[in-house]
Amino acid sequence: MRRLSWSLGIVAMLLLSLSIPQAEGQPLAQEGAWIEKGKEAVRAKMKDPESAQFRNVFFHRGIDHMPMTCGEVSGKTRFGGDGGFQHFVSGGNPLLTYLESEVTDFSTVWGKMCQ
């Protein structure tokens, strides 16, 4: 079931990336905006969004040039403890955002979307 939902997420990311206008000469501004959109999507998936701390965040065009936000996030658990940093991949909205703790074979996702 997870593999199916991950595959559907990939298809949705492809469709979303095709709908984003690509203006030449504006890549840095678009990348910065995309990074912020990705961080907001990650926060939306967390138990305590205000506690989110990000590091090593970057913009990358994954498979088929899909715009992605990649990095690490840490936040409080539902018990109030520090969850520690984990990798994330975001296609710009919570439905297209994957936290390392949620995906069994996250290294494959990271490899396809962030390297």
The residue range of the domain holding 31 is: 2-114
Give the separation between CA 101 and CA 115, rounded to whole angstroms: 19
- CB atoms < 10 A from the CB of 18, how many? 11
Which pLDDT value is given to residue 83?
Answer: 79
Instruction: Mention every residue, 6+ apart, whose C-beta is less than 8 A from residue 80.
Output: none
Which pLDDT value is given to residue 49?
Answer: 92
pLDDT in tens, the chain (115 residues): 455 455 545 545 544 544 444 445 566 788 999 999 999 999 999 988 999 999 999 999 988 888 999 999 999 877 777 879 999 999 999 999 999 999 999 999 999 999 9
Which pLDDT value is given to residue 5?
Answer: 56
Give the separation between CA 33 and CA 59, rounded to whole angstroms: 10
Burial of residue 55, with CB atoms counted within 10 A of its CB: 0-12 exposed, 13-18 middle, 19 or more buried: exposed
The answer, as to whether pTM is greater than 0.85, is: no
Which pLDDT value is given to residue 80?
Answer: 72
Which pLDDT value is given to residue 26?
Answer: 60
Which pLDDT value is given to residue 14?
Answer: 46
The number of folded domains in the chain is 1
